[in-house]
Amino acid sequence: MTRDIEAHMNLSPQAGRARKARTAAALLAALTALTACGAQPAANAGAPASAPASASASASAAGATTSFSEKGVTVTLSVSGWQSSKGTLTAVFAPEEKGFHLYSTDLPTDGIEGVGRPTVLSVTGALKAEGELTAAAEVRSISVPGVGAPVPVYPDGPVTTTLPVRADGIGEATVSIGYASCSERDGCTIPVSDRPVRLHITADGPVFDVRQAARSLDLTSP
């Protein structure tokens, strides 16, 4: 009986060491499998994942916006869809009084027989146009007393225009804006032409110079 107990006591440490070896081998095999599948070790499991640089830049560019009010119209500018140094410049022209409309982008520079001014959005400097300015509104024609030809205008109310653009390096850029609003009942406001809004073209995309826009608004508003 004593020899049996001694034999059992002598074998127990060996069995324990064998079990430990098998457990360690199993853990090592599991860790190797996780690593091969791209899993993170447990120590790093709680670490936040870093956003790709391109996603961060796109989000930064998407927030680029500014606005100003002048001659009865509020203009809101924004840049969206910025990727690979290209994006869309959007300008929303919103007359501040009911019954006022804006003129078509296709109107001649001096209007028709001096009546009206086209809705204009252009860029210079480190930002270039990649296409034509388009408006998300249908053009209709109105008759103006004393004018022989019909005048193309947009329906009363806000008009959204878009211009595809691309960055020509890092630097300064200017958006030039022109428009006039008119009411068939109340007449027309004073036209706005070549109204500048500055931008900084950075590695992450365009950023409007909000302080410059505010100073310009103070100087040009009636």
Environment class of 47 (CB within 10 Å of its CB; exposed 0-12, middle 13-18, buried 19+): exposed
Of 78, 132, 129, 109, nearest in space to 178 by CA: 109
CB 103 within 8 A of CB 182: yes
Categorize the per-residue pLDDT at 218 as very low, low, confident or very high, splitting at 50, 70 and 90: very low
Length of the chain equals 222
CB 91 within 8 A of CB 64: no
% of the chain residues with pLDDT over 70: 66
134-189 pLDDT, tens digit each: 999 999 998 887 888 989 999 999 999 999 999 999 999 999 999 999 988 888 88
109-138 pLDDT, tens digit each: 999 988 899 999 999 999 999 999 999 999
